[in-house]
Structure 1
Amino acid sequence: RGETSPDKHYKVFEKDQDIFLKDLQSQQITHITQTSEDENQPRFLQDESKIPKVLFWKKDTLFMNQSGQLSELTQLIAEDEPKNKPDYSYLDTKQQAYFETLREIHHNKKLVKQRDKTLPKFHSRPFYLGADTQIIEKLVNPSGEFVVLVVQEKSYKSGPEGKLARFVTDSGYIDIETVRTRVGQNPLAPQYLMLLDLNNHTQIQLPYDALEDIHKDRLFDERKAATKWHMAHGASKEKAEELTLAPNTRAVTISNLQWSTDGMSAAVMLRAIDNKDRWIATLDLKTGRLKQQHQLTDQAWINWDFNEMGWLKNSHTLWYLSEESGFSHLYLRDTLSRKTRQITQGKWEVSHPVPTQDGQTIYFRANVEHPGKYEIYAVDVKTKKMTPITHLGGNNDFQLAGDEKHLLINHSTNIRQNEIYLKDLTKTQPALAITDTMSAEYKAIDWLSPEIVDVPSSHVKQDIKAKFYKPKDFDPSKKYPAVFFVHGAGYLQNSDLGWSYYYHEMMFHTLLVNQGYLVLDMDYRGSAGYGRDWRTAIYRNMGHPEVEDLKDGVNWLAKNWSVDPKKVGVYGGSYGGFLTYMSLFTEPDLFAAGAALRPVADWSHYNHEYSSNILNTPNIDPIAYERSSPIEYVDGLKKPLLIMSGMLDDNVFFQDSIRIVQALIEHKNPNFQLAVYPMERHSFHIASSWLDEYRRIYKLMNENLK
């Protein structure tokens, strides 16, 4: 990693908060900085000199290094600029008139200032950004003449913070910990772009008026319905309209700020805080204004994946990913001719694009042959010809070597974790494995590799992909109990051919099958890997399409695999815990028992970044939150429910489980148990907690399914 000089003789990189320069011919590495402070963002200054000049930041000060000599180019100060002249004051004026000594002191200060103006300057002139400015990102262009800043208001408040209690402590006393805010307490802080001209020492904030639809209210209908909802629930008309008021200009957050190779233009990606639009714009240095190059609109929400973009070597062509076709694909945008070309197409997804230095080829990862099989491909940007690079199966990701002759590949399968493979791009031979990290103990166990099956949907024209675990000696004449595992995160793909984040569960499923169960793990609607429509099927309606899919899974097992539909259980964590709730509460006869781990009970108590994408915010769309939160449906519970939560969970708060328990108590419902883990957060890390969790799930299934 790092940056290679234009002449390919040097490489500059950051390591351990210091900057290093490597001579690629002699392989000699030189410390440019060696301090306790954090130096970062090194890049080469592009000029005619053959001696490498390295730009880097130390906190908010920009430095240049040439042959070991440091010079300060500018300093960014988040304060108001000091006043050159004091404000007029009657008392000050009379003091000067009364006392000669004060007049002499004042005269001497003037002489010092005049002398200082004639002396050579060793420090740059700072930019004062304002006392209420917080710098989020800063990027200097290759010529060292301009800096683009992403800023927001320092005083912006995200809303009341949450609290959680730590009961098992060193002191023996209860500790209180501050955690995140809840959705909608305050939107994300609006962000702004600033352009600093280092030569002329000017600074401007860039207007957003070039962004199409920046003033459009994408949530007009939801606001109208929400106003009526708030009034029906006790708000005055004035308060209801205040809660649902639309902004005149939509606020944005900013990502993916990049200078072109020649440093004459910058590209930036902006996303509306209401999550409905994403823009790519370029910065015109002459006019100090943005030019829109692309707009992606999604009436549900813009995906938080597939937002990569960058420049090709010619400095006027942008590459980017977009879901506008329904699947993530690669596009090129000529910023001069203002023409766009789609480079890849099909009902599959492109991710992790990496262009070569000459801009002629782009490598990427895609699931072309099967939604769960990810291989590496290369595409010629002129001809659009696509060439498969790997044929490894499973799940693959990569890094392109600096010489662009080799790929380092992360390869995995369902029962083998990531291993490193090396692919020589100059040869036709397949990639070679260079690591083997699985232990002998693990390899000695006969792990059950699941099949990826297609479960017909009764609601959409697309089958539901699922992992299916069954015994090798399956007997169709027997009746089997079954367990459903429901993956977390919602937008995650688990029915793929690679190593899963849920490898503990893979091992547990082998145990369950060995004990006579069948196991189904479905990529329900809302899961990743299947395109935009599958992803957004849950918009404003979380927990209902997914349960419909689980119901189709139960019917499929009963019809095709000798499963007794009255002997099916369900478990899952986080989003999977939420869907366990929704299954047991809204379809009380679907499963015989369920275990909800780390479960979301009320989406209005979850975080802003996730919830506001799918459900908007509670003020603007209370109907969606009401429709999608399990706490609204607790009266439907009939079958045994096991709730399991870490008390230190700072993602899905332990409070969520306590609120569900209280609601069940008030409904006089005895069909639940609560297991708490006093020293665990969202992802467990203590072995005894994992063991206890699986033992309780196993016991629940055995008691209710056999």
Structure 2
Amino acid sequence: MKKYLLFLSVFAVEYSFAQQIAPLTVEKIMRDPKWMGIAPTNYRWTADSKTVYFNWNPENKPKEELYKISTASTKPVKAIDKEDEKLLATNFSYNKDNSLGLVEKSGDIYLQNFKTNKEIRITNTMERESNPVFLTNGDIVYQLGDNLYEVNLKSAETKQLTNFVKGKKPGRTDAKPVTDQDKWLRAEQTELFDIIKKRNAEGRGGARGAGGGRGRFGAPTGDTKSLKEIYADDKFLNAVTISPDGHYITYKLTTPALNNHSTIVPNYVTSSGYTEDIPGRTKVGENENISEGFIYDTQKDSIYSIQFSTISGIKDLPDFYKDYPKELEALKKKNEDRPINFFGPVWNENGTTGVLVATSIDNKDRWILKLDASTGKLSLIDRQHDEAWIGGPGISGFFQGSTGWIDNNRIYYQSEATGYSHLYIANIATGDKKQLTTGKWEVQTLKLSKDKSTFYFTANKEHPGITNFFKIGVNGGEPVQITSMKGLNEITLSPDEKWVTINYSFMDKPAELYLQANKPGAKAVKITQSTSAEFNSYKWRQPDMVTFKNRYGTDVYARVYKSDNPHPNHPAVVFVHGAGYLQNVHFGWSTYFREFMFNNLLADNGYTVIDIDYTGSSGYGRDFRTGIYRHMGGKDLTDQADGVKFLVEKYGVNPKHVGLYGGSYGGFITLMAMFNESDVFTSGAALRSVTDWAHYNHGYTSNILNEPFNDPIAYKQSSPIYFADKLKGNLLMAHGMVDVNVHFQDIVRITQRFIELGKNNWELAVFPVEDHGFIEPSSWTDEYKRIFKLYESTLKK
């Protein structure tokens, strides 16, 4: 019996060991990610800060389910009664003392009393009400359609505040030229009818004014003052905002871009059996929407423009025009204001002052501006100028960014003025500015406490690849670190600011939920365990975190996956992350989890793999971010070659047996490497690659390369299609045919170039049902089997 038990014990150990050392295969790692276990997501607190809800699927069901924990009992339980979610703390708009909150739920407005924990439904309609706020008098204002309505909580009266009207004002003729026939008919009407003669004399023409009747909610309006009709003409109305005292209503009218060409993406594998067209985006350089700002003075019943033409530097021309002297002279003669976009205003608590954030359409400038609402005039609080483009955490030119009020005189904002995104405050009365955080690290998220005494922020202060949670007083001081786990710590703060949930991950450990008191030194308690036994059975590598100097003397961060049994050829592979502005060299779990597993597979098969945060990646400050301005495929490409040199010197890699691969921006770099660094790279796999930046979208590309028609130099030195004749090594290209981001047309065009050039050392794999981000496991498997085959057949010879 003892021998039998010993046999079983040995067998169990050997079976477990066999499972642990079972080799990774492409088929295994590219399955539906459920095989790994599904991490929790979407953490949200209840308004009383006692419960956290999250989505989770620990039982590997077809769909994730709702779970919850409490601060008193941290064991996850299924939230069977989804009505509990009514208690969730969403994005409330608070009154002055934070005792009341307003929120939109499913298109209706709700009032939450935090003292009594009672919720009152304010609207119950088939239409959508949104953007609820409190006025200083205690009333509520919300938006229905294009218009604002005010609710008096004491009398329950609802009053319409604006009367925005779509279309043109009656009697306007500027939209259609007056023909001879029109003139004849008008003259005939005047000749025939006395009433027309009378109206013409009164200046009313043939139009009738709006009559009386009943308001939106049935309240009689016949004995009340008519609201001014504000016509939008042929423009889009948006950003309707009211000052807290109800005095001013600001709004934006946007003229849509005309004569743009939207692209078409054909879909071949359809249920109908016919090819169907997917409407696509426009390409870089197309016309852009132009916005104007207006103020409606409710007391004077008058409308006037916000005056952007006076702001500092509005006529400045970008430096790149120095490469185009004729165009520069022509623009100087025009002396026109640069078009801008703007966000806000954000009003101080008492409603006396609004602050706008404006960005130039060329994204070289970002202004923070004080608005004099009585005149529409603007005065400068801060100007951030960048001859490359404005960006960085909390700053991006596409939105308002981290900007708000501390009190009635001070605002906060983020700026890259020192080369890294940091926190600043400015006194709008005195003009004084103060930098609160400093150093060669970035403030990545920012939140002002409810009592407006403290800033909470996440930052990579310790290391570019480690994020933690900090706090600092609004008057400055030394930042206080709250979390301490080495890796990536993504924070959700409870409404009472006493607790934090942490979405924590490490290099070889996917994210899990942790709960911690919002205090320095408090223990983070692990709540979930999500990874499967099969995933845990493999000993995933923790890559070496290294730095090397590139040829320009800049520190470049990288991950290196070492092979325990290098192939005799000592081959290496470079993985190039996508997006350009993205960080993948960190101590957390990578969003490129399939590539992380594939890199482990490569290392198991004798390859050394390096994953580089090349120039242009996020997390390293302004100079690194903008190092690719006007030349993508410049420093970002040479960083890959310098990384190979580092592998040769430090890891014994054979420089004659190096490949690389990457998707999207990584695919673009792979193409540029195979063309312009062909002495370094023997084989490359370019996935969903941009081949010509003139065919990509506007928002991303115009920041980095300007526009094709005004900076062709930048596009020609940055686009792989212009260098296709230099292909020497072994190239695999793979692309989804219904890619609405990087269109299939991109890869078709460069394929035609290869054909015309007589190149024969390339192949193209197409995936008929895949968009930019592949979904089907069969597609992932096919793609990566091809990559692995490419390396096995070319780098080990």
TM-score with structure 2 setting the length: 0.80
Question: What's the counterpart of residue 158 of structure 2?
Answer: 70
Separation (CA, whole Å) in 1 of partners of 2:158 and 2:119: 18
Distance 1:75 1:434, change over 3 A: farther
Equivalence map 1:72-221=2 (5 Å): 72-82=160-170, 90-97=187-194, 120-121=222-223, 125-154=227-256, 156-157=257-258, 159-186=260-287, 188-219=288-319, 221=321
User: What's the offset of the Cα at 1:414?
Assistant: 2.0
Separation (CA, whole Å) in 2 of partners of 1:114 and 1:162: 48
Separation (CA, whole Å) in 1 of partners of 2:195 and 2:310: 59
| Conserved? CA contact 2:565–2:604, under 8 Å | no
**Count of paired positions:** 676
| Conserved? CA contact 2:295–2:303, under 8 Å | yes
Question: What's the counterpart of residue 123 of structure 2?
Answer: 33
One of 121, 126, 132 as aligned partner of 1:42? 132
Question: Is structure 2 residue 369 aligned with structure 1 residue 277?
Answer: no
| Conserved? CA contact 2:565–2:606, under 8 Å | no
Query: Which string of whole-angstrom CA distances, capped at 9 and with x for unpartnered residues, describes residues 185-221 of structure 1?
Result: 22x3222211122232221111113311101112463
User: What's the offset of the Cα at 1:595?
Assistant: 0.4
Question: Is structure 2 residue 749 aligned with structure 1 residue 659?
Answer: yes
| Conserved? CA contact 2:682–2:795, under 8 Å | yes
Query: Which string of whole-angstrom CA distances, capped at 9 and with x for unpartnered residues, describes residues 548-580 of structure 1?
Result: 111111111111112111111100001100000
| Conserved? CA contact 1:684–1:690, under 8 Å | yes
User: What's the offset of the Cα at 1:184?
Assistant: 0.9
Aligned AA (2:390): I
Distance 1:537 1:513, change over 3 A: same
Question: What's the counterpart of residue 65 of structure 2?
Answer: none
Distance 1:114 1:189, change over 3 A: closer
Greater displacement, 156-165 / 174-183: 156-165
Question: Is structure 2 residue 653 aligned with structure 1 residue 563?
Answer: yes
One of 460, 465, 471 as aligned partner of 2:557? 465
One of 343, 348, 352 as aligned partner of 1:255? 343
Query: Which string of whole-angstrom CA distances, capped at 9 and with x for unpartnered residues, describes residues 517-544 of structure 1?
Result: 1110001111111111111111111102
Question: What's the counterpart of residue 698 of structure 1?
Answer: 788
SS in structure 2 at match of 1:379: strand
Question: What's the counterpart of residue 698 of structure 2?
Answer: 608
Separation (CA, whole Å) in 1 of partners of 2:319 and 2:166: 35
Distance 1:125 1:227, change over 3 A: closer
Separation (CA, whole Å) in 2 of partners of 1:467 and 1:183: 34
Query: Which string of whole-angstrom CA distances, capped at 9 and with x for unpartnered residues, describes residues 633-690 of structure 1?
Result: 1111111101100111111111110011100111100010000111111111111111
Question: What's the counterpart of residue 639 of structure 2?
Answer: 549
Aligned AA (2:647): L
User: What's the offset of the Cα at 1:402?
Assistant: 2.0
Question: Is structure 2 residue 147 aligned with structure 1 residue 61?
Answer: yes
Question: Is structure 2 residue 374 aligned with structure 1 residue 286?
Answer: yes
Separation (CA, whole Å) in 2 of partners of 1:114 and 1:641: 73
Separation (CA, whole Å) in 2 of partners of 1:114 and 1:71: 15
Question: Is structure 2 residue 436 aligned with structure 1 residue 340?
Answer: no
| Conserved? CA contact 1:313–1:358, under 8 Å | no
Greater displacement, 694-703 / 88-97: 88-97
Separation (CA, whole Å) in 2 of partners of 1:129 and 1:112: 13
SS in structure 2 at match of 1:452: strand
Distance 1:350 1:702, change over 3 A: same
Distance 1:418 1:69, change over 3 A: farther
One of 104, 110, 134 as aligned partner of 1:14? 104
Distance 1:414 1:364, change over 3 A: same
Q: Any stretches of 5+ residues in structure 2 without a counterpart?
A: 1-90, 174-182, 215-219, 396-400
Distance 1:516 1:208, change over 3 A: same
| Conserved? CA contact 1:217–1:246, under 8 Å | no
SS in structure 2 at match of 1:679: coil
Separation (CA, whole Å) in 2 of partners of 1:114 and 1:350: 55
Separation (CA, whole Å) in 2 of partners of 1:199 and 1:245: 42
SS in structure 2 at match of 1:423: strand
Percent same amino acid among aligned pairs?
Answer: 36
Separation (CA, whole Å) in 2 of partners of 1:537 and 1:60: 43
Query: Which string of whole-angstrom CA distances, capped at 9 and with x for unpartnered residues, describes residues 455-498 of structure 1?
Result: 22122x22210011113x467x9652111100111111110112
Separation (CA, whole Å) in 1 of partners of 2:598 and 2:322: 44
SS in structure 1 at match of 2:656: strand
Aligned AA (2:407): N
One of 516, 522, 536 as aligned partner of 2:612? 522
Distance 1:641 1:225, change over 3 A: farther
Equivalence map 1:215-364=2 (5 Å): 215-219=315-319, 221-222=321-322, 224=324, 248-255=336-343, 257-303=345-391, 305-307=393-395, 308-364=401-457
User: What's the offset of the Cα at 1:2?
Assistant: 1.2
TM-score with structure 1 setting the length: 0.90
Separation (CA, whole Å) in 1 of partners of 2:437 and 2:673: 39
SS in structure 1 at match of 2:250: strand
Aligned AA (2:614): Y
One of 594, 601, 626 as aligned partner of 1:504? 594
Equivalence map 1:561-600=2 (5 Å): 561-600=651-690
Distance 1:124 1:683, change over 3 A: farther
| Conserved? CA contact 1:491–1:528, under 8 Å | yes
Distance 1:111 1:480, change over 3 A: closer
| Conserved? CA contact 2:232–2:253, under 8 Å | no
Query: Which string of whole-angstrom CA distances, capped at 9 and with x for unpartnered residues, describes residues 42-84 of structure 1?
Result: 112221x5xxx32111121212234454332223223333359
Q: Any stretches of 5+ residues in structure 1 without a counterpart?
A: 229-239
Query: Which string of whole-angstrom CA distances, capped at 9 and with x for unpartnered residues, describes residues 304-326 of structure 1?
Result: 64322333342221111101101
